[in-house]
Amino acid sequence: MSSRPALKAVYGIWGEDRGKVQRATTRLRDRVASEGGMPPDLFDAGVDSAADVAAACETLSFGGTRLVIVANADAWRADDATVLVQYLAAPNPNTCLALVGEAPVTPKLLAAIEQAGETLHFGPDPKLKRGERPKWFAQHVVSECERAGGKIAIGLARTVVERVGEDAMTLTQEAFKLARAAGQTPVDKALVDALVVAHPDAKTYELADALTAGQGRRVFDLLDELSVGDNPSEPIVIQSGLARHFRTIAAAQALGTRASAERLGELTGVKGYPATKAIEQARSLPEGVGARCVACLAALELDLRVSSLSQLGRSSDDGRRFVLERAARELLEITKQ
């Protein structure tokens, strides 16, 4: 029986597929423990400095391999991570460092990880074009359904993604649920209709993504889908969802480099995927833009409720749609700055 390869000095474990990221991190913890290593030292890059992590890594170990795990490692900026880049040039042979996050760490730190250890990426390529991402998530549903012993056609998998949103962990749960319900038969449309409930904020996340990325055409395509699709949303409902999400983005920007899903959850009550998504979007925007978008959306609420503009057109629906689209243009202008 061949022995396992030796542990690397450092692992970069990241990606939007948080389920696989967690499983990879757990496997690393179990392996270190099975080889007589110490319980892990746990850090959070949203709270702890890279200098503190480097100091822990350099500490002598008298009980086997020292495992150091850093959550939210993508929270560090380039200057923050300099000391860790320096450490990885000559890492402690008795320490195994795991840098875990949803997004990749800074380029210099990523290069240092690849030089001294290994990167493990789970999820869609960050460079995928907007239109390619749904394909990855649909294939993820197919694969996870197969992992659970079931089978689903790619077309139905796309329907699941459209209803639930682009969150790999949630899609894994849906795939397992469908596989168990279907048993030995392939998942069919009736089962998807019966078991997969549309997430009310799924399109809101996509709309916020398009706004923060400055994708004007995508913004108005999504507004069309939300307004006239199979389950149309009232403009005030769209405004409410966006306002809630941009308030979370503004809070993440206020936390600055200390932002992590845990800290944001404590501050706003928003947890899990929505918190992670808000932090990702906050980092893509200039400082203060989140708060400006919140102000714009507050003005939109007033326009939808009391402005005479909302009464333009042949019906009140026409007027409210006009007000909503005008606010979308203003939001695109704000996020460009």
Residue 7 is predicted with a pLDDT of 94
3-state secondary structure of 102: coil
Portion of the chain with pLDDT greater than 70, in percent = 94
Q: Evaluate if pTM is beyond 0.75.
A: no
158-217 pLDDT tens trace:
999 988 888 898 899 999 999 999 999 999 999 999 999 877 677 777 888 889 888 898
Q: Which fold has domain 202-336?
A: Zinc Finger, Delta Prime; domain 3 (1.20.272)
Q: Is the per-residue pLDDT at 332 higher than 90?
A: yes
Q: Is the per-residue pLDDT at 104 higher than 50?
A: yes
Angle at 203 between CA 201 and CA 206, to 5 degrees: 115
74-89 pLDDT tens trace:
888 889 999 999 999 9
Spatial separation of the C-alpha atoms in residues 275 and 284, rounded to whole Å? 15
Spatial separation of the C-alpha atoms in residues 30 and 336, rounded to whole Å? 46
Spatial separation of the C-alpha atoms in residues 235 and 222, rounded to whole Å? 12
134-151 pLDDT tens trace:
899 999 999 999 999 999
Residue 62 is predicted with a pLDDT of 73
Neighbours of 267 (CB within 10 A): 15
Confidence tier at 323 by pLDDT (50, 70, 90): confident
Residue 277 is predicted with a pLDDT of 80
Residue 112 is predicted with a pLDDT of 97
Q: Distances in Å between the alpha carbon of 245 and those of 192, 241, 263?
A: 28, 6, 16
Confidence tier at 229 by pLDDT (50, 70, 90): low
Spatial separation of the C-alpha atoms in residues 118 and 103, rounded to whole Å? 16
Q: Distances in Å between the alpha carbon of 32 and those of 1, 39, 66, 94?
A: 20, 8, 8, 11
Which positions ≥6 away from 108 have C-beta within 8 Å?
78, 81, 82, 85
Q: Quick one: angle between helices 202-212 and 235-255, nearest 10?
A: 60
Neighbours of 62 (CB within 10 A): 8
* Contact criterion met (CB below 8 Å) for 158 and 134: yes
32-68 pLDDT tens trace:
999 989 889 999 998 899 999 999 999 987 778 999 9
Spatial separation of the C-alpha atoms in residues 13 and 119, rounded to whole Å? 6
Assigned token pair, 179: 């596989």
Q: Is the per-residue pLDDT at 218 higher than 60?
A: yes
Q: What mean pLDDT is reported for the chain?
A: 88
Spatial separation of the C-alpha atoms in residues 92 and 61, rounded to whole Å? 10
Every domain of the chain and the residues it spans? 10-121, 130-195, 202-336
Residue 311 is predicted with a pLDDT of 56
3-state secondary structure of 98: strand
Greater model confidence, 97 or 283: 97
Assigned token pair, 265: 């959850």
Spatial separation of the C-alpha atoms in residues 37 and 167, rounded to whole Å? 34
* Contact criterion met (CB below 8 Å) for 141 and 171: yes
Q: Which fold has domain 10-121?
A: Rossmann fold (3.40.50)
3-state secondary structure of 134: helix
Q: Is the per-residue pLDDT at 294 higher than 90?
A: yes
Spatial separation of the C-alpha atoms in residues 133 and 165, rounded to whole Å? 11
Assigned token pair, 335: 């996020």
Confidence tier at 1 by pLDDT (50, 70, 90): very low
What is the Cα 256 distance to its own chain's centre? 17
Closest C-alpha among 70, 7, 2 to residue 35: 7
